[in-house]
């Protein structure tokens, strides 16, 4: 199933990571996105794998989980339409920090790192719009991990 660019753009407008962008910036990113569908139970990305794309959920629901140093799995979050993961992979080559599993039939728009970085070079204001959101995500994950360790 190939989702219309207008639908991707509409979802991008509601994504916390992208909602500070201008409509034309979101439109350019939506045109660069590809779509993929995943069946329930499919591992979409695995902790430790190479990170090459941002995933935005167009439909469905996923569980984001992290394996602790002791080997247990900690659920970080569940996200549905408009949720996203893989944003750190847009910036660096560090392996995936979590595993993401489809909880139901799910469709995602994928924005590849190289396409995103090309857009950043052409329009550095995109980076300024994303910084506050990325910073909040880092803080939230740190709090969740600290809570899991103490609980």
CATH for 5-113 is: 2.60.120.10
Angle of helix 125-150 relative to helix 113-122, nearest 10 degrees, comes to 130
> Under 8 Å CB-to-CB from 121, ≥6 apart: which residues?
none
In this prediction, residues 72-91 reach a mean pLDDT of: 89
> What does each C-alpha distance from 22 to 14, 18, 42 come to in angstroms?
12, 9, 34
| Strands (E) located in the chain | 34-38, 43-45, 53-59, 61-67, 73-80, 84-85, 99-102, 106-112
d(CA 146, CA 151): 9
Task: Report pLDDT digits (tens) over 27-43.
Answer: 999 999 999 999 999 99
Domain ranges of the chain: 5-113
Kindly provide the b/e burial profile for residues 122-133, where b requires at least 16 CB atoms within 10 angstroms of the residue's own CB.
Answer: ebeebeebbeeb
Q: What are the tokens at 6?
A: 């207008």
133 strand-pairing partners: none
Task: Report pLDDT digits (tens) over 48-73.
Answer: 998 889 999 999 999 999 988 888 89
């Amino acid at each position: 199933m190939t989702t219309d660019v207008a639908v991707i753009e509409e979802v991008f407008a509601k994504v916390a990571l992208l909602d500070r962008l201008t409509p034309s910036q979101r439109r350019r990113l939506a045109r660069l996105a590809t779509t993929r569908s995943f069946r329930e139970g499919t591992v979409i990305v695995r902790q430790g794998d190479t990170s090459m794309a941002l995933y935005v959920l167009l439909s469905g629901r996923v569980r984001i989980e992290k394996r602790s140093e002791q080997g247990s799995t900690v659920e970080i979050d569940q996200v549905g339409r408009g949720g996203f993961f893989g944003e750190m992979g847009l910036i660096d080559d560090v392996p995936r920090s979590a595993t993401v599993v489809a909880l139901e039939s799910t469709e995602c728009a994928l924005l590849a790192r190289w396409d995103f970085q090309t857009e950043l070079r052409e329009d550095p204001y995109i980076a300024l719009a994303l910084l506050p959101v990325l910073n909040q995500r880092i803080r939230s994950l740190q709090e969740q991990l600290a809570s899991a360790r103490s609980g």
